[in-house]
């Protein structure tokens, strides 16, 4: 699959995934564990059948390499969630997530010894500034920032910085793995979701509880089916399928493009979510103008972006990234 098609499927899959997640969270706010488990299990099941062929296909990349990636991912998730307990306002949390592109470039230069043209540095800076400004303008009208103890918030900020660096490091590590062992996105997708599955045993009771709750939700009659299917189970299936579409193509991008380019795609996806949220909740024309100014800054950065030619195909270059 060409990177251009992968990008399209990433946007379609992830945006659809958010819709199903919103439908689930609106009815059952504490359903995060069962949603994540369903996503991981579906991807594991598909990989077990078609990629691993029930364990008969030997992995090309050593298992210990995948364990390192899964460990890094787990650390990032835990630290990000832990930071919320230290009086970190959600807008500030979102701003740190917007800095992933800049963090990836900085660590790429410091650790991997990469170098970029001046235009690429300027592009990354403008894109980051645009997203940060848009986040601030959106959050200032949607959410109220709570103020807490400075020391406590400082600890939270340190945790966010650490998580940001680890996330960027994980992307660079994946890029290095594919250069060493070759491109195997399907295998990587399978093992990255198979290895963490035993951890869901810690949430067994919560998962079973929410499955029962989902099973008792209002039924929806499907065409050709004589009985109703619980709507929340359908939404859960839709969420898992769209997550598969999204993450499968993200893994394709990690093998076809540089870590910085993949981070750009994910960052732009995040930016689209912010725009959708701000347009849904926008109250004043002044606020809309602020967001539009931030968008101009980001678009200027995109116009200056040039392909890095690290595995990018001609179709990807035509995409303008």
| Strands annotated E in the chain | 219-221, 228-230
Note whether 14 and 267 are within 8 A (CB). Answer: no
* pTM for the structure as a whole: 0.77
Beta bridge partners of 229: 220
pLDDT of residue 132: 75
Phi, psi of 38 (to 5 degrees): -60, -40
pLDDT of residue 148: 54
- Whether pLDDT at 135 is above 70: no
Q: Which residues of 172-200 are buried (b: 16+ CB within 10 A; e: fewer)?
A: bbbbebbeeeebbbbbbbbbbbbbbeeeb
* Distance, CA of 56 to CA of 48 (rounded, Å): 10
* Distance, CA of 125 to CA of 105 (rounded, Å): 10
Note whether 176 and 65 are within 8 A (CB). Answer: no
Q: What is the pLDDT of residues 200-232, one digit of tens each?
A: 999 999 999 999 999 999 999 888 777 889 999
What percent of the chain shows pLDDT beyond 90?
Answer: 39
- pLDDT, mean over the chain: 81
Q: DSSP string of 106-123?
A: HHHHHTS-----HHHHHH
Q: What is the pLDDT of residues 79-133, one digit of tens each?
A: 877 876 787 766 676 677 768 888 999 999 998 889 888 888 888 888 788 777 7
pLDDT of residue 321: 40
Q: Name the DSSP class of 228.
A: E
Q: What is the pLDDT of residues 15-50, one digit of tens each?
A: 888 889 889 988 998 898 999 999 999 999 999 999
């Amino acid at each position: 699959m060409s990177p251009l098609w992968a990008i399209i499927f990433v946007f379609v899959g992830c945006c659809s995934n958010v819709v199903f997640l919103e439908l689930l969270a609106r009815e059952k706010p504490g359903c995060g564990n069962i949603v994540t488990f369903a996503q991981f299990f579906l991807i594991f099941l598909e990989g077990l059948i078609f990629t691993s062929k029930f364990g008969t296909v030997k992995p090309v990349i050593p298992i210990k390499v995948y364990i390192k990636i899964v460990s890094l991912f787990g650390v990032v998730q835990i630290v990000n969630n832990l930071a919320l307990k230290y009086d970190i306002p959600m807008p500030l949390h979102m701003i740190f997530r917007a800095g992933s592109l800049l963090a990836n470039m900085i660590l790429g230069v410091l650790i991997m010894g990469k170098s970029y043209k001046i235009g690429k540095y300027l592009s990354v800076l403008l894109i980051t500034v645009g997203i940060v400004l848009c986040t601030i303008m959106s959050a200032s009208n949607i959410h109220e920032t709570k103020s807490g103890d400075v020391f406590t918030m400082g600890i939270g900020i340190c945790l966010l910085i650490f998580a940001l660096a680890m996330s960027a490091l994980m992307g660079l590590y994946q890029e290095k793995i594919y250069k060493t062992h070759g491109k195997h996105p399907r295998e990587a997708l399978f093992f990255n979701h198979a290895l963490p599955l035993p951890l869901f045993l810690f949430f067994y009771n919560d998962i079973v509880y929410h499955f029962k709750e989902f099973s008792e939700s209002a039924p929806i009659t499907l065409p050709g089916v004589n009985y109703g299917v619980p709507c929340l189970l359908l939404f859960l299936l839709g969420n898992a399928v769209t997550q598969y579409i999204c993450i499968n193509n993200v893994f394709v991008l990690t093998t076809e493009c540089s870590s910085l380019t993949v981070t750009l795609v994910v960052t732009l996806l995040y930016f689209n979510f912010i725009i959708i949220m701000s347009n849904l909740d926008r109250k004043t024309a002044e606020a809309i103008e602020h967001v539009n100014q931030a968008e101009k800054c980001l678009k200027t950065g995109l116009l200056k972006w040039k392909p890095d030619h690290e595995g990018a195909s001609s179709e990807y270059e035509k995409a303008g990234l």
